[in-house]
Structure 1
Amino acid sequence: MKALVTGGAGFIGSHLVDRLMEEGHEVRVLDNLSAGSVENIRRWLENERFEFIKGDMADFETVKKAIEGVDVVSHLAANPEVRISSQSPEKLYESNVTITYNLLEAMRNSDVEYLVFTSSSTVYGEASVIPTPEDYGPMEPISVYGGAKLAAEALISGYAHIFGFRAISFRLANIIGARSNHGVIYDFINKLRRNPDELEILGDGTQRKSYLHVSDTVEGMLHIFEHFRREGKTYDVYNLGNDDWITVKEIAEIVSEEMGLKPEFRFTGGVDGGRGWKGDVKFMLLDVSKAKSTGWKPKLNSYEAVRRTVRELLEG
């Protein structure tokens, strides 16, 4: 297949690009490099099956050009930082909703057959059912980030049903691994490099969430996409995460141990009952039984994924 990966120079996107290239597909990347890096895809730049377009999806003509001749679009371009929900809601709207609308408008008069979208567990908000299944409702995001992802999902579903392409959304748990440049593990490592004796931990440390290594994420996306293609649905949604979860304090302990340090933990206390920031979902565990029913399952649990990620980031 010929694939377009938006945000393909970013964290998850570049790992997806690696797999697609290794499997022999033609791959085009569209990325404005606001969150990604050319270094993540440098190994492919001279490959005849690979094309890189530096461009912003806010520009419709750029998007229109990027989808020419492709069979499938994997749409990963987004602002990945949940924490800016309260400071810059307009940025999250533009980088999650507006660019998705531009992509869909370009696709509706094209020959693109499939759209793969990376959504987020944040669409569920503070779910009363844990583990949370795909059919949970009502959806009530508690951050602008979660709201923007849910809005993008709704647009994709509407366009797919009206304009004759097929689409799948993956609601991702916390995805971690090499090349990540934000998130709790990345923050902890940088804080301890600055001050090995003390580690500031946002919130009360009891926040508990599911973490999935990026290698398991990409494997899951590709495996389930093939299942989706065979199944014949116009639109479908899958959770991608782990069966277990881990607290922020436990992550701090693993990071400290891997760095050979014994810092004093200083908890900020957080907001709204110990959250790290306003809009932070304190407890998140996805029901991944639907994904596992296709034959996929993660190789690393949350604890193993965290430890491997710490080692990868320290080596990188």
Structure 2
Amino acid sequence: MRFLVTGGAGFIGSHLVELLISEGHSVTVVDNLSTGRVEFLKGVMGNPRLRFIEADLLRPEVAREAARGVDAVFHLAANPEVRIGQQSPESIYRQNVEMTYNVLESMRVAGVRALAFASSSTVYGDAKVIPTPEDYGPLYPISVYGGSKLASEGLISGYAFTFDWTAVSFRLANVVGPRSTHGVIYDFINKLRRNSSSLEVLGDGTQSKSYVHVRDTVKAMYQLLMKAIDKGVRYEAFNVGTPDRVSVLEIAHIVAEAMGLTPQVYTTGGVDGGRGWKGDVKVMQLSVDKAMSWGWAPEVKSSRDVVRRAVAEALSEFKA
């Protein structure tokens, strides 16, 4: 097949592109490199089945050109930082909602009828049901970022039913692994590299969330989209994560141990009852029963093991 991957030079996108190429598909990548990096694609950059476009999908003509001649779209391009929402709602809206609209319109014009969307667990907000299933509701995101992902899901569902597409939204737990350039593991390693004697933890440290490895994530996105196309479904949402969670304080100790350090770990106390920042979901654990019933399962099955592997991979990258 011929795929378009928006944000394909990013953390998750670059792993997805590698998977698609390895499966024999042709891939067009569009990335403005605001957070993505060309070097993330170095393993496939010379492949004749890869086409790379450095451009901004906020320009409708870019989206239209990218969608021409493809069979399906993986839409990953977005502002990935949850915390920026309270600082710049306009940036979140434009890069997450307006860009999604441009991609959908380009698909409609080009006659592309299959889409996978990288959504987020943040659409659930402070869920009252843990583990949280896909049919939980009503959904009340507590960050502008989460709201933008839910708005995009709504647009995608509307287009899918109106124009007879197959569309799938993936509500991702915290994705970690090689090439990650933000998040708690990345932050802790950088803090300890600057000062090995102490480690600041945002919030009260009891925040507890699910983590999933990036390679398991892209396998879920690929396998479940292909199954949805085969089944001819209109729209589905899938949680992608591991069936447990790990606290921020536990992650701090895992990172310190992996670096051979014994820092004084202290918490800032946080905001709104111990959150790391405004809009930080304190407890997140997704039910992955639905994805598993469709045949996907994470290779790394616990959040602690995911974190341990990601820490080792990150430390290896820092040494390279």
Q: What's the TM-score, normalizing by structure 2?
A: 0.98
Q: Helix, strand or coil for the counterpart of 2:65?
A: helix
1:198-236 deviation digits (Å, cap 9, x = unpaired): 000000100000000001111111221222122221111
1:309 maps to a residue whose letter is A
Partner of 2:128: 128
Gaps of 5+ in 1: none
Partner of 2:309: 308
* Corresponding position: 1:253 with 2:287: no
Q: CA deviation at 1:44?
A: 1.9
Q: CA deviation at 1:46?
A: 1.9
1:315 maps to a residue whose letter is S
Q: Distance in 2 between matches of 1:59 and 1:263?
A: 47
Partner of 2:179: 179
1:114-140 deviation digits (Å, cap 9, x = unpaired): 110010000010001111110111110
Partner of 2:56: 56
Comparing 161-170 with 269-278, greater Cα deviation is found at: 161-170
Superposed CA RMSD in Å reads: 0.8
1:156-180 deviation digits (Å, cap 9, x = unpaired): 0101111222111000000000000
Q: Distance in 1 between matches of 2:287 and 2:85?
A: 25
Q: Helix, strand or coil for the counterpart of 1:150?
A: helix
Partner of 2:211: 211
Q: Distance in 2 between matches of 1:65 and 1:43?
A: 25
Q: Distance in 2 between matches of 1:270 and 1:104?
A: 38
Contact preservation (8 Å) 2:166, 2:228: no
1:67-106 deviation digits (Å, cap 9, x = unpaired): 1100010000001100111101111101100000011111
Q: CA deviation at 1:294?
A: 1.1
Q: Helix, strand or coil for the counterpart of 1:104?
A: helix
Q: Helix, strand or coil for the counterpart of 1:27?
A: strand
Q: Helix, strand or coil for the counterpart of 1:39?
A: helix
* Corresponding position: 1:76 with 2:73: no
Gaps of 5+ in 2: none
1:210 maps to a residue whose letter is S
Partner of 2:278: 278
Q: CA deviation at 1:43?
A: 2.4
Q: Distance in 1 between matches of 2:136 and 2:165?
A: 25
Count of residue pairs the alignment pairs up: 316
1:313 maps to a residue whose letter is A
Partner of 1:43: 43
Partner of 2:112: 112
Q: Distance in 1 between matches of 2:65 and 2:52?
A: 12
Contact preservation (8 Å) 2:26, 2:50: yes
Q: CA deviation at 1:195?
A: 0.1
Partner of 2:189: 189
Partner of 1:143: 143
2:111 maps to a residue whose letter is D
Q: CA deviation at 1:183?
A: 0.2
1:205 maps to a residue whose letter is G
Q: CA deviation at 1:309?
A: 0.5
1:238 maps to a residue whose letter is F
Q: Helix, strand or coil for the counterpart of 2:308?
A: helix
Q: Distance in 1 between matches of 2:114 and 2:84?
A: 31
Contact preservation (8 Å) 2:11, 2:180: yes
Partner of 1:231: 231
1:19-75 deviation digits (Å, cap 9, x = unpaired): 001111101100000010000012222211111000001000001000110001000
Q: Distance in 2 between matches of 1:171 and 1:217?
A: 10
Q: Helix, strand or coil for the counterpart of 2:181?
A: coil
Comparing 155-164 with 63-72, greater Cα deviation is found at: 155-164
Q: Distance in 1 between matches of 2:225 and 2:163?
A: 20
Q: Distance in 2 between matches of 1:47 and 1:172?
A: 29
Q: Distance in 2 between matches of 1:190 and 1:20?
A: 32
